[in-house]
Amino acid sequence: MFRRKKDTFDVEETKCVFGEFVKEYVITSRDVYDPDSFMDAAKETVINLLENNRQTKVKLILKCMMERTEIKTGEVIVKDAAFHSEQEVNLEGTDIDEMYMKMKDRVIESLTVFQKAQSGWRFRSIVSLNVLRLNINL
């Protein structure tokens, strides 16, 4: 029996207009994932990032491509959409695993609400999982 090799993800730190106060880290997806399984697969990568960035506020943003078919014309419309977690405080004593799961659940809930409320939008693909990190002064 073979175990599936864990996926590893590259993290790209992007430039931010607020300098050192705010950083954004981008984890690019591969086409084989739905939102829930991608966030599960990227969990270890995000947790490692958060462990090295304490005394911060963090937020997850799952960027996806959504699609719907125009009933009258049959045209497929594609749209970028971003689904956010709430902002969480990441201190030395924070249980990062628990915090990640709370943020992930909020992102998936946001996606579900969007699909139910926005008449006909379906998930197409994941673009990235972005981690926003804000330094805090305590």
Q: What is the pLDDT of residues 97-121, one digit of tens each?
A: 999 999 999 999 999 999 888 678 9
pLDDT of residue 6: 58
pLDDT of residue 18: 63
Please list, in sequence order, all residues whose beta carbon lies within 8 angstroms of the beta carbon of residue 13, skipping any fewer than 6 positions away: 23, 24, 25, 26
Please list, in sequence order, all residues whose beta carbon lies within 8 angstroms of the beta carbon of residue 63, skipping any fewer than 6 positions away: 80, 81, 82, 126, 127, 128, 129, 130
Examine residue 3 and state whether it is found in any structural domain, yes or no.
no
Query: Model pTM?
Result: 0.88
Examine residue 4 and state whether it is found in any structural domain, yes or no.
no
Within 13 Å and on the Cβ side, how many CA atoms surround 63?
13
Examine residue 76 and state whether it is found in any structural domain, yes or no.
yes
Range of the domain at 113: 11-135
